[in-house]
Structure 1
Amino acid sequence: MESKIKFSKYQGAGNDFILIDNRNLHFDSKNEDLIHKLCDRRFGIGADGLMLLQEKENFDFEMIYYNADGRAGTMCGNGGRCIVAFARDLGLIHDNTAFLAVDGIHKANLNDQLIDLQMIDVNEINRDGDAYVINTGSPHYITFENNLSDLDVFNAGYTIRNNATYREAGINVNFIEKEGESGYFLRTFERGVEDETFACGTGATAAAMTIALHENRNGQITIPIRVLGGQLYISFFKEGFSFTEVYLKGPATFVFEGTI
């Protein structure tokens, strides 16, 4: 007889995730086909990724992240905020937390439905022609665009992600456009999902760093970035090519729960 899996669904600016409390280690995390099926929007629950919340000594919890294709993923910023909300709803944490993810320790503060998640420091910036290539826990290719609302992000992103440079390891492809006085609009093609998503937290973080580099800004900076699924805010302290005290702020919302 097949076992039942209890799950919760959360979304952060339209980036949606399946969350499973796996403190008892009952979930078969090696089963890529199962994870892929659960994330399938027609045959499963439907999500951009799946996360397991597990116990970890000296931390509130550990975040184990899987892409929608079933494979273990790199850091996911919107997912990080969602698992913090999940941990709060499970009663594990209250106003703040420190948890472990694949790229190290993350701290987060919870206030007014927005979650401020600390991201890793970044000291290495690469270029690919006019584009910037930055790893913010996941690798990102960032380029500026005009008329971004008209861009065919799927085909433009697919082409770059599958070119000779990035085909094997894959990369997330981000397109940014200035909006108004201080805002920016971001659209992202995500590897692992292999499609455009409504938001990408590590992508928004990389995009904000690109903007600060491009505009030669230094010091304490906050950059608002609009994505298809909502509004994110990225703050950091920049000195030359070094980014510290990096925080990704945005919503993380419970959608529904069930068993499958």
Structure 2
Amino acid sequence: MEKIPFMKMNGCGNDFIVIDNRGNRMNSVQVAPFVQRICSRRISLGADGVLFLEESSVSDFSMRYFNADGSEGEMCGNGARCIAKFAYTLGRAMRYASEVFPNGTNVNLIEPVDRQTIRIRTYERGVEDETLACGSGSTASAIIASLLGKTRPPVNLHTRGGVLQIDFQIGPEHIDEIYLAGEAKIVAEGHLLPDAWR
């Protein structure tokens, strides 16, 4: 078998082997015995589990989680945080992934928590880095999550910089009455003097 690129990650000590499987490189592998072997401590790399980053028809990517015994888990909170960070290191590449946006676009990674709560991380074009919050990206994410049946308005978006609340009405043909609420602070006031632009 060819070499398999991986990243070793941990969330609060809960450690994982993370593999980008969007090219389906793992299709020829018997997953359960593979996971059991590579998660074995002292005789292989060792980990609590394996995370596969995979293609998704409804989002930028999906996560599959396997426990160290080879069984597939439904969800892993620490794993979700790790896979989001792993994908963020794909952020720059992902923002150019679609020909629909020749100038690139923002990448929003979301995790629905319940019917009215989402965790979100954003890699923003122009900034070329992760930002603490993106209002337009949060609004789009809340609406799309609701259209997919994951949430319902109003939706609380937990960004790295704080909580944004998005409210809207889903009509038969349009999304109307869109509101974005969140903290806004004044942190400085002053004057630009002519030497600033001469």
Question: Normalised by the shorter chain, which TM-score bucket?
Answer: 0.5 to 0.7
- Structure number with greater CO (CA < 8 Å, separation at least 6) is 1
Q: Is the 8 A contact 2:116 2:156 kept in 1?
A: yes
Q: Is the 8 A contact 1:173 1:188 kept in 2?
A: yes
2:176 pairs with 1:249: no
Match of 2:128 in 1: 194
Look at both structures and tell me which one has the larger radius of gyration over its CA atoms: 2
Displacement of 1:188 in angstroms is 0.7
Residue type of the alignment partner of 1:189: Y
2:81 pairs with 1:162: no
Distance 1:156 1:148, change over 3 A: farther
Residue type of the alignment partner of 2:184: A
The whole-number CA distance in structure 1 between the counterparts of 2:170 and 2:101 is 31
2:165 pairs with 1:233: yes
Distance 1:223 1:256, change over 3 A: same
2:57 pairs with 1:130: yes
Displacement of 1:159 in angstroms is 1.5
Q: Is the 8 A contact 1:201 1:248 kept in 2?
A: yes
Displacement of 1:156 in angstroms is 2.3
The whole-number CA distance in structure 1 between the counterparts of 2:112 and 2:98 is 29
Instruction: Report the secondary structure of 2:182's partner residue.
Output: strand
The whole-number CA distance in structure 1 between the counterparts of 2:81 and 2:150 is 26
2:150 pairs with 1:222: no
Aligned ranges 1:97-136 → 2 under 5 Å: 130-131=57-58
Displacement of 1:149 in angstroms is 2.8
Distance 1:239 1:143, change over 3 A: farther
The whole-number CA distance in structure 2 between the counterparts of 1:149 and 1:216 is 19
The whole-number CA distance in structure 2 between the counterparts of 1:192 and 1:228 is 19
Q: Mind listing any 5+ residue stretches in structure 1 that lack a counterpart?
A: 1-127, 133-141
Instruction: Report the secondary structure of 2:136's partner residue.
Output: helix
Match of 1:207 in 2: 141
Displacement of 1:216 in angstroms is 7.1
Instruction: Calculate the aligned-residue CA RMSD, in Å.
Output: 2.9
Q: Is the 8 A contact 1:185 1:227 kept in 2?
A: yes
The whole-number CA distance in structure 1 between the counterparts of 2:127 and 2:92 is 11
Residue type of the alignment partner of 1:215: G
TM-score scaled to structure 2, two decimals? Answer: 0.52
Displacement of 1:207 in angstroms is 0.5
Displacement of 1:158 in angstroms is 1.1
Distance 1:176 1:255, change over 3 A: same
Which range moved further: 179-188 or 190-199? Answer: 179-188
The whole-number CA distance in structure 2 between the counterparts of 1:256 and 1:184 is 31
Q: Is the 8 A contact 1:148 1:176 kept in 2?
A: no
Q: Is the 8 A contact 2:158 2:164 kept in 1?
A: yes
Residue type of the alignment partner of 2:137: G
What do residues 97-130 of structure 1 show as CA deviations (whole Å, max 9, x unaligned)?
A: xxxxxxxxxxxxxxxxxxxxxxxxxxxxxxx962
Q: Is the 8 A contact 2:56 2:62 kept in 1?
A: no
Instruction: Report the secondary structure of 2:90's partner residue.
Output: helix
Distance 1:257 1:206, change over 3 A: same
Displacement of 1:180 in angstroms is 4.5
What do residues 111-161 of structure 1 show as CA deviations (whole Å, max 9, x unaligned)?
A: xxxxxxxxxxxxxxxxx96246xxxxxxxxx66667443222532221111
Residue type of the alignment partner of 2:135: G
**Alignment size in residue pairs:** 122
The whole-number CA distance in structure 2 between the counterparts of 1:225 and 1:216 is 13
Match of 2:107 in 1: 173
Residue type of the alignment partner of 1:209: I
